[in-house]
Amino acid sequence: MATTNLSHYDKATIPNAKNFRFGIVVSEWNPEITESLYKGAEQALLENGAIKQNIIRWNVPGSFELIYGCKKMLETQNINAVIAIGNVIQGETKHFDFVCEGVTQGIKDLNIKYDVPTIFCVLTDNTKEQSIERSGGKHGNKGIECAIAAIKMAALREF
């Protein structure tokens, strides 16, 4: 669990994103969380020079489907980075463990296979309250942090 505000960053250290195209794949599961993460990510991209028309959003049903959605985006869109936004909350079964492990490994695999960074913006929390705190609550918005990572990684890719 984050103990600092995820939304703080030094804008002077962020590359200008005006020449980059970003993909954002958003899980429809737990939409109050994922929509807040998306809004934070989009806002941070725009505040750092990204052009709205260069931000492509696709929705997928759940966090496990983020892998395929990101893969298709990487294969069909001319993007400089993709952000996978999802939320998995611990329940009473092992389903949480399987989904979290699968999504983590799947996004790792995309980063190995493709020469375009895929950013992990999937909250894996014990409670809904923890997810709220990390998607615009007292710990800031992980979507902002991931957008900044996407900008930095898109710039790194240019080297």
Beta strand 118-125 pairing with 22-27: unpaired
Token output for 123: 């909250």
C-alpha to C-alpha distance for 126 and 115, rounded to whole angstroms? 33
- Given this model, what pLDDT does residue 1 score? 42
- Given this model, what pLDDT does residue 134 score? 96
CA–centroid distance for 4 within its chain = 18
Condensed to tens digits (0 to 9), the pLDDT of residues 77-135 reads: 999 999 999 999 998 889 999 999 999 999 999 999 999 999 999 999 999 999 999 99
Residue 3 pLDDT > 90, yes or no?
no
Identified catalytic residue from 18, 95, 108, 113: 95
Token output for 141: 């918005």
Residue 65 pLDDT > 50, yes or no?
yes
Please give the angle made by the CA atoms of 96, 58 and 100, to the nearest 5 degrees: 15
Of residues 31, 63, 56, 34, the one with CA closest to residue 116: 56
**Superfamily of structural domain 26-157:** Lumazine/riboflavin synthase (3.40.50.960)
Condensed to tens digits (0 to 9), the pLDDT of residues 6-32 reads: 688 999 999 999 999 999 999 999 999
Please report, for the chain, the start and end positions of each structural domain, with discontinuous segments joined by +.
26-157
Beta strand 22-27 pairing with 55-60: parallel
C-alpha to C-alpha distance for 49 and 28, rounded to whole angstroms? 27
Task: Identify whether 95 is a catalytic site residue.
Answer: yes
Find the radius of gyration of the CA atoms of the chain.
15
